[in-house]
Structure 1
Amino acid sequence: MLELNVKNETSRLRAVVLGTAESNGPTPKIEDCYDPKSIEHIIAGTYPNEEDMVMELNAVAAVFKKYNIEVYRPEVIKDCNQIFSRDIAFVIEDKIIEANILPHREEEVAAIDYIWNQVSEENRIILPEACHVEGGDVMPWNDYIFIGTYSGEDYSELITARTNVAAVTAIQELFPDKTVKSFELRKSNSNPKENALHLDCCFNPLGKGKAIIHKNGFLLESEYEWLVNFFGKENVFEITKEEMYEMYSNVFSISEDVIISERNFTRLNTWLREQGFVVEEVPYAEIGKQEGLLRCTTMPLYRD
């Protein structure tokens, strides 16, 4: 049996699912894209190629190896984008919860069945069909679960709205002892600089009581203020619209003091080191063109 344990975003990582770019398929058609940033790169002719993305994921796999972390990969499906393993499932405490993701992405879920089947049955959760959720919107944080959502009436028209209020309620019912705190995110199908695809695209809690945040990613200023107050203004690294677009908030913590970050994030990486973090820099700019980065491509299974 596979043991699961994830209580927060920063405890020492022991086992993780890392996405794969193998057999990623040709550049998608615009109408098949899930986010405005991918569309932008398809139009510009700069959409990432498979070889570069395989290399980038391998760089992260090498960091995991260095820290003796057990790495699981999805089974490769021919011509299928399986890079963003965080979208398809997530772990809270000892439970793995299957995400109800965009309908034409269901085969991605089947690619981790071999992991799912190793978890004891009572800890495998499939939410009701009405609950839409993706792992990028869900952050266990000790006594809290932070969830990005969107409750606007145009939810169904926004391919960028991934987690609905029904899912927030269902997760609260699953974990009655935790405080589920939801945040309304800014969504746009057409402008990647005005779109927080997931909560981790505009916010990320780090070790040592620190956090990264982008104010404009939140629809309600009061919810942004709540987070700043929760961590303390002096502990928060505020990112610009341009930095959010580059995915600055989407770094990944291996432990309280080790963070994997993109090598071009100079301003952030300098600040992290000033705060006493060890920063493992990797090339990830090609993957970032699809509006996802390090947190999106990883799905922790076990943290101490």
Structure 2
Amino acid sequence: MLDLHIQNETSRLKAVVLGTAESIGPEPTLEEAYDPKSKEHILAGTYPVEADMVKEMDAFNKVFEKYNVEVYRPKLITDYNQIFARDIAFVIEDLFIKANILPEREQELDALQYLIDQIDPSKVITPPEEVHIEGGDVMPWNDHIFIGTYKGSDYKNYITARTNQYGVDFIKELFPNKIVKEFDLVKSKIEPRDNALHLDCCFQPIGKDKGIIHKSGFREEGDYMYLVDLFGKENLFHIDREEMYHMYSNVFSIDTDVVVSERNFTRLNNWLRDHGMTVEEIPYAEISKQEGLLRCSTMPLIRE
């Protein structure tokens, strides 16, 4: 049996699911692309190729090996994008919570059935149909659970709006002892620089008491101020619109003092080192063209 344990985003990682870029299938058409950043690269002729993305994920996997993290990979489905393991399910405490994913992506969860079979069935949660929630929007942080959502009345028109109020309420019911705080995110179907697809596109905790944040990713100033008050302004690394676009807030913590980051994030990586962290730099710029980065590619199962 697999004993799941996740209390936060940064404690020492013991086991994780890492997606795969193998057999990713043909480049999507404009109509098939889910997010504005993928569309931008399809139009520009710069959409990433499989071989480059496989290399990037291999580099990520080598970092996990270096830190003795047990890595699970999805069962391979031919011609199918299985990079972003974070979207399809997530772990809080000892519960494995399935996401009600976009219908086109349901097979991604089937590819992890061998793993789900190793978990106590009473710990595997399938939300009711009206609940929309994806792992990129959910961040356990000790006594808090942070959740990204979109409260606009036009929610159903936005394929980039992934977590609804039902999703927030569902988590509140599952974890009555936690402070569940939702954040209303800015969404755009056409401009990737103004689209916080998930909460981890504009915020992520790092270390014991720090975070990376993009103020303009929040529709309400009060939501941004909540995090400033909680973490302290001096503990937050503020990223600008262009850095948000390159996914600076989507790094991944292996421990409170070890962060995996994209090698081109010079300003961020220097700041992390200045604050006593080891930064494992890897190439991940091709994968980022699909509006996802390091956190999006992982699903932590066990942290100390």
Matches within 5 A, 1:263-282: 263-282=263-282
Q: Aligned letter for 1:234?
A: E
Partner-residue secondary structure (3-state), 2:222: helix
| Correspondence for 1:135 | 135
2-side partners of 1:115 and 1:186: how far apart?
34
2-side partners of 1:281 and 1:208: how far apart?
20
Partner-residue secondary structure (3-state), 2:31: helix
| Correspondence for 1:184 | 184
1-side partners of 2:219 and 2:76: how far apart?
37
Q: Aligned letter for 2:150?
A: Y
Give structure 1 regions of 4+ aligned residues with deviation exceeding 2 angstroms: none
Q: CA deviation at 1:116?
A: 1.0
| Correspondence for 2:237 | 237
| Correspondence for 1:248 | 248
| Correspondence for 1:81 | 81
8 A Cα contact 2:24 2:79, kept in partner: yes
Q: Aligned letter for 1:191?
A: E
Q: Aligned letter for 1:72?
A: Y
Partner-residue secondary structure (3-state), 1:212: strand
Q: CA deviation at 1:208?
A: 3.2
Q: Aligned letter for 2:144?
A: Y
Q: Does 1:65 align with 2:65?
A: yes
Task: Kindly tell me the number of residue pairs found equivalent between the two proteins.
Answer: 304
| Correspondence for 1:21 | 21
| TM-score in terms of structure 1 length | 0.99
| Correspondence for 2:299 | 299
Matches within 5 A, 1:45-56: 45-56=45-56
Which runs of 5 or more structure 2 residues have no equivalent in the other structure? none
- Once the two structures are superposed, residues 203-254 of structure 1 have per-residue CA deviations (whole angstroms, 9 ceiling, x without a partner) of 0000131100000100000100110111000100000000000000000000
1-side partners of 2:53 and 2:229: how far apart?
37
Q: Percent identity, aligned pairs only? A: 65
2-side partners of 1:129 and 1:282: how far apart?
38
- Once the two structures are superposed, residues 12-59 of structure 1 have per-residue CA deviations (whole angstroms, 9 ceiling, x without a partner) of 000000000010001001111110000000000000000000000000
2-side partners of 1:246 and 1:268: how far apart?
12
Q: CA deviation at 1:284?
A: 0.1
Matches within 5 A, 1:73-222: 73-222=73-222
Q: RMSD of the alignment, in Å? A: 0.5
1-side partners of 2:75 and 2:96: how far apart?
18
